[in-house]
Amino acid sequence: MESKPFIEMKSIEKVYPDGTVALRGVDFDVGKGEIVGLLGENGAGKTTLMKILSGLLPPTGGEIYADAKRVNFRNPSDALCVGIGMVHQFFALVPPYSAVENILLGQEAAGPFAFLDMEAAKKRLAELAEETGLEIPLETPIELLPVGVQQRVEILKVLYRGTDLLILDEPTSSLTPLEVGELFRILRRLKETGKAIVFITHKLKEVLEISDRIVVLRNGLVTGRLPTEEATPEKLAVMMVGKEVVPRVTREEKAPGEPVLAVKNLQVMSDFGTLAVKGLSFEVRAGEIFGVAGVEGNGQSELVQALTGLRPPKSGEIELNGADVVRFGPRELYKTGVCHIPEDKARFGLALNLDVAENSILGRQWEPGFLLRMGRLDWGKIVEFAEKLMVTFNVIAPSVRTTVKSLSGGNQQRLVVGRELSKQPALVVAAHPTRGLDISSTVYIQGLLIEMRDEGKGVFLVSADLDEIMRLSDRIAVMYEGEFLGVGKAEELSREEIGLMMGGIRPKGGSQ
Amino acid sequence: MKRFEISTRARPLVESVVTILIGLLAGALLMMPFGYDPIEAYQALFKGAFGSVPDVLETVAFATPLMLTATTFAIGVKTGLFNIGAEGQMYLGAIGATAVAGLIPLPVGLHVAAATAFAMLLAALWALPPALLKIWRGVHEVISTIMFNWIATHLSMYIAIYYLAQPGRAERTVPALPSARYPILTEEATLTAVIFVVLAFCIGIYIYLWGTKAGYELRLVGENPEAARYAGVSSRRAVLLSFIIGGLAAGLAGASQIIGRPPAWSLYATLGNVTTLGFDGIGVALIGRNHPIGGIFAAILYGALQHGGRYMEYHAGVSSELVRAINGLIVVSLAVPEIGAIIRRRLKR
């Protein structure tokens, strides 16, 4: 540590082809024998920065030095050559292959007819495992191993390639607390053997526990750089989410009405068989926007899917205007007054190869107003409705017969939002309604949500954009690992408190 | 903007015309090294297929079953399926038509209808197991329909030989009774009135897919299953419907060759007068852009190659094997754009 750091990144910039600016001149370094925590919320640029360092993405500007020598990575193998390897949040393992086979995959020595020297590989792996404490069953198919062990295989795979710098992207997101402890023990041991480690996370407790130094990113800039002993959760939270006061959108002042949605002890499973929503209870009242903040992947998607009939909950109650709707599908929920602006419009909200008219009745195709006798579609009425939708919600398209694929993202989202809000709902469930949109579409759609609230509808808003949550919500809940760490009136929650909860720490004396 | 829209609508047509030219060119290149004159050969092909009214009708007679088996495949694609079971379902349709038409005397009019309906029903039933396997157990339809095609092949031969054979003529089944035959349109071609039923069926499928709620939901499942779920559509139901409708189409195709195609009016014990009609339908569907109306024109084109190809043989002297190779080349190049589209869609998922 006394000499030059092992890796130095200078003024790294990254602009994605679609114009998104991810990094605006970031300096970063890491030395052998230290663990650097890279902290930030969604979209801060953590993963982008590390993908550049591991050769997965080319930077738009800036320089990288390894051992004080300028390097230029064209692909991950280039980065591996100087000893940089990354373990991604989602593993890249072949489920039916054993650990050895997975680790050897991609580095078979020679041409198609060369034999794999399994025995030699096994011997080397056993040595490596002993040295690092990464003990794994070498012969068992990956699919039979628990997630924590699969992750060890991933780490071993990277180390086997002779890595000196190990980058871990949100490594604890799918681990049990016990597995997290085990991982930290291994990381400390790797540090002792002189490895450099970058630990990407949004969890304050973990970064405080495991790192030597912390670098905080926000909006593509470094907002903090400090040794871990000087860090406190409060300091980090402010660095992570900032402390500007966002002006709240003006709205009618009025007391919220009766609860529209009442949820009790809701439990929802994830696709990976883990509990994604861990017993939530809350209410959304008529005439209020209930905003759920939090870093993505903390159970928000599963919660929204449970509320909109796309994912049957494991247990718990969901009541809509007093009626039990827990087993309802999307169509029954619509009939009871729920509309859903889904988190990924191209995946759930639209059929891209169908035209505007066809998409304007998606989910409403069974309504008698759009049908003639014998289940025939009344195209006259549908086209008329689609045209009205386009005018009311400013959807710009050559005609209602244009395929939705050729519309801009903002217009696609206006179409989805317009279709949903025109359902005369009692409850609007909106997930990341303005993600990836330009400013004018964002302001427009946020205005529509406020309008809904003023009209006395309940709005359940999930967004990873903290500014959006603070600007729109009447009440805010912060979701972390499937739970609400805190729920409070928007005026009474400070940005710092929310930041802390997003990082997994309940503020002292916080509201609940 | 306006121009852009028109060009996207016209694009499939332009592509099809270009690929026809490429296919013909490829066929010509294949003929040249063997010393045949491509221009003379293609003249013979065209004259053979469309040169006279009876020739046109004969071309359409060849096209008739293909319009239907193409529909089977096309409606599968529209639901996101790769249903290649038309072949086997069509055999069952042929068996069903033969049994009712040949063995059960019924009044004129009713007999034709009953034989047709039974053929369609039997074929739809044959489509059911792959559909249910897909819905219940996630068995991929390519595997199950191939297996059911083979089962159908041998089952149909067995039934044809042991239960339906014409006494004294082991090579084929009992012929359809005259009351069960679709009327012949002209003595100079093998086209019968079954073509009207077939056209009505294809147009009906078109109306169903684009004009009804159920058809809309079916296409939604094919375009984006997750959006379909979001819209409250059961993709299981759509898959089941798609298989059943595909089966009905294949069954009608089988029937059309038994009670709607002289001179045999029966099923050969080798299934020789129906084999490959189901598989050819896949190519026809691809040429017709998986559209029931496009399939009608693609089938006529295919029928023209089959019927006109015979003239290439005796007027231009092209050997029959080469004629088939040339036809194959043309069909393959015609299918390329749609295969490309399907692959692009799969990759995107």
**pLDDT reported for residue B344:** 77
| Spans of all domains in chain A | 7-241, 257-337+426-512, 343-424
- What sign for the dihedral angle of Cα B127, B132, B135, B137? negative
Asked whether the beta carbons of residue A376 and residue B232 sit closer than 8 angstroms, the reply is: no
Smallest CA–CA distance from A349 into chain B, residue? B227
Chain A positions in Cβ-Cβ contact with residue B213 (cut-off 8 Å): 365-366, 370-371, 375-377
Asked whether the beta carbons of residue B227 and residue A349 sit closer than 8 angstroms, the reply is: yes
Distance from CA of A354 to the nearest CA of B (A): 8
Question: Going by DSSP bridges, is the β-strand pair A427-431/A338-341 parallel, antiparallel, or unpaired?
Answer: parallel
Residues B339 and B286: beta-carbon distance below 8 Å: yes
Asked whether the beta carbons of residue B212 and residue A377 sit closer than 8 angstroms, the reply is: yes
Asked whether the beta carbons of residue B5 and residue A402 sit closer than 8 angstroms, the reply is: yes
Beta bridge partners of A289: A459
Name the 3-class secondary structure at A223. strand
Closest CA to A240 of A432, A103, A468, A40: A40
Instruction: Grade residue B337 by pLDDT with cuts at 50, 70 and 90.
Output: confident
User: Is the ipTM above a cut-off of 0.90?
Assistant: no
Chain B positions in Cβ-Cβ contact with residue A349 (cut-off 8 Å): 227, 230
Asked whether the beta carbons of residue B230 and residue A329 sit closer than 8 angstroms, the reply is: no
Asked whether the beta carbons of residue A398 and residue B5 sit closer than 8 angstroms, the reply is: yes
**pLDDT reported for residue A201:** 92
Q: What is the pLDDT along chain A (512 residues), one digit of tens a residue?
A: 445 789 999 999 999 887 888 999 999 999 999 999 999 988 889 999 999 999 999 999 999 999 999 999 998 889 988 999 999 888 888 888 888 888 888 765 555 666 677 888 888 888 888 888 888 888 889 888 888 889 889 999 989 888 999 999 999 887 888 889 999 999 999 999 999 999 999 999 999 999 999 999 998 999 999 999 999 999 999 999 888 777 888 888 878 889 999 999 999 999 878 899 999 999 999 999 999 999 988 999 999 999 999 999 999 999 999 999 999 999 999 999 999 999 988 889 999 999 999 999 999 999 999 999 889 999 999 999 999 999 999 999 999 999 999 898 889 999 999 999 999 999 999 999 998 888 888 999 999 999 999 999 999 999 988 999 999 999 999 999 999 999 999 988 988 899 999 999 887 654 44
Instruction: Count other C-beta atoms under 10 Å from residue B341's C-beta.
Output: 17
Scanning A242-360, the segments in alpha helix (DSSP H) are 300-307, 330-336, 356-360
Tell the CATH topology of A7-241: Rossmann fold (3.40.50)
Instruction: Grade residue B334 by pLDDT with cuts at 50, 70 and 90.
Output: confident
Q: What's the pLDDT tens digit per position in B9-57?
A: 677 777 777 888 888 888 888 888 888 888 989 999 999 999 999 999 9
**What distances in angstroms separate CA A146 from CA A99, A143, A156, A184, one per listed residue?**
13, 8, 15, 17
pLDDT at residue B4 is higher than 50: no
Distance from CA of A284 to the nearest CA of B (A): 22
All domains of chain B, ordered by start, with CATH? Answer: 39-348 (1.10.3470)
Contact A147/B at CB under 8 A: no
Asked whether the beta carbons of residue B213 and residue A366 sit closer than 8 angstroms, the reply is: yes
The token pair that represents B238 in the structure block: 């759509």
The DSSP code for A166 is E
**pLDDT reported for residue A512:** 42
Of B212, B223, B230, the CB nearest to A375: B212
List the single range of A312-316, B197-201, B255-259, B328-332 with lowest mean pLDDT: B328-332
Tell me the average pLDDT across B237-241: 96
**pLDDT reported for residue A113:** 63
Asked whether the beta carbons of residue A398 and residue B230 sit closer than 8 angstroms, the reply is: no
Instruction: Grade residue B232 by pLDDT with cuts at 50, 70 and 90.
Output: very high
Tell me the average pLDDT across B84-104: 96
Q: Could you tell me which CATH class the domain A257-337+426-512 is placed in? A: alpha beta
pLDDT at residue B299 is higher than 60: yes
Residues A320 and A333: beta-carbon distance below 8 Å: yes
A327-366 residues touching B, CB cutoff 8 A: 329-332, 334, 340, 342, 347-354, 358, 361-363, 365-366
Distance from CA of B9 to the nearest CA of A (A): 10
Instruction: Grade residue B1 by pLDDT with cuts at 50, 70 and 90.
Output: very low
Residue type at B60? V
The rounded distance, in Å, linking the Cα atoms of B196 and B296 is 12
